[in-house]
Amino acid sequence: MTKLGNMAYYTAETAFWLPEQDSNLPSLPTLVFLHGFGGGSSAYEWSKVYPAFAVEYRVLAPDLIGWGRSEHPARSYQVMDYITTITEFLEQTCGEPVPVVASSLTAAIVIRAAIARPDLFKSLILTTPAGLSDFGEDYTRSFFAQLISTPILDRLLYSVGIANPAGIRSFLEERQFAHPERVYAEIVEAYLESAQQPNAEYAALSFVRGDLCFDLSLYINQLTTPTAMIWGRQSQFTSPTIGQRLAAMNPKAIRALEILEDVGLTPQLELPAVTIGLIRRFLTQLSQEN
């Protein structure tokens, strides 16, 4: 339970990799996966990655408030809503500082959460962490943000352009993935199920309007948690140059930046095996350097 409602999360109930008679869960360190924002986002985004860590970690993968199977309050969402609810989730589910894996705008918000509450975070592994208004850019002035800010029209655009199979597939193929052939039916179905939840439009429209955007460069110097970044070279919304500039501002905390040449915004869905390998490497590297 958070201040904005119940937060659903996925975790292993049994040690499914062991024989049935030995399937009680052992005591393992915790590893948290947090999904990004966008029409239909949910913990599914990490579902091709987090099972690889279930033998070594107690994996937790929540749907953030307003997304997936968590509660969807009818409100205009702000950055502090997610800093607060992510903090509350970690406080209630983790008994010690934990490594957190997060993506895109959520990853940028996690940096701010780690600045405010460094006691909750052991390390950060972040894919394309950007506030979308970084280094003085103002996302809210973009044509699409202005268009989606029009009352009534915003919900029409959500219904017609996002919360249907064609809209989901088009966005994934044209904006999120570097190679459209990597988008398969299960991904579209999972995003569609989340996008069609009651009141799902509130969080999605808050994101598209730019209510959740900010300039991460104004905060990055305050980060002390050991951090690694993964960036797709073909990320359409935020180029790797943003990541390089952010990393250069705080090399003491940001220990690594890996740029993947043939990937878009979500390497965890587009190339999950590569992403698993990088996360595994960074978990070890950041633990040794901490």
The answer as to whether 156 is a domain residue is yes
Tell me the per-residue pLDDT of 97-155, one tens digit each, with 9 for 90 and over. Answer: 999 999 999 999 999 999 999 999 999 999 999 999 999 887 666 656 555 666 656 67
Give me the residue label for tokens 């405010």.
Answer: 116
**Residue 64: what are its φ and ψ, rounded to 5°?**
-65, 160
Return the pLDDT at 38.
86
Tell me the per-residue pLDDT of 237-277, one tens digit each, with 9 for 90 and over. Answer: 899 999 999 999 999 999 999 999 999 999 999 999 999 99
User: 50, 22 in Cβ contact below 8 A?
Assistant: no
Instruction: Please choose, from the candidates 66, 29, 30, 62, the residue with its C-alpha nearest in 3D space to the C-alpha of residue 45.
Output: 62
The answer as to whether 40 is a domain residue is yes
Instruction: Please choose, from the candidates 10, 21, 6, the residue with its C-alpha nearest in 3D space to the C-alpha of residue 50.
Output: 10
Tell me the per-residue pLDDT of 204-231, one tens digit each, with 9 for 90 and over. Answer: 989 988 899 999 999 999 999 999 999 9
Residue 280 sits in a domain whose CATH number is 3.40.50.1820
The answer as to whether 2 is a domain residue is no
The answer as to whether 1 is a domain residue is no
With cut-offs at 50, 70 and 90, classify the pLDDT of residue 172: very high
The answer as to whether 4 is a domain residue is no
Instruction: Please choose, from the candidates 86, 93, 48, 87, the residue with its C-alpha nearest in 3D space to the C-alpha of residue 67.
Output: 86
The answer as to whether 240 is a domain residue is yes
- CA atoms within a 13 Å half-sphere pointing along the CA-CB vector of 274: 16
| Residue 118: domain span | 9-289
- How many domains does the chain fold into? 1
The answer as to whether 41 is a domain residue is yes
The answer as to whether 209 is a domain residue is yes
pTM given for the model:
0.94
Q: What gap in Å lies between CA 48 and CA 191, rounded to an integer?
A: 14
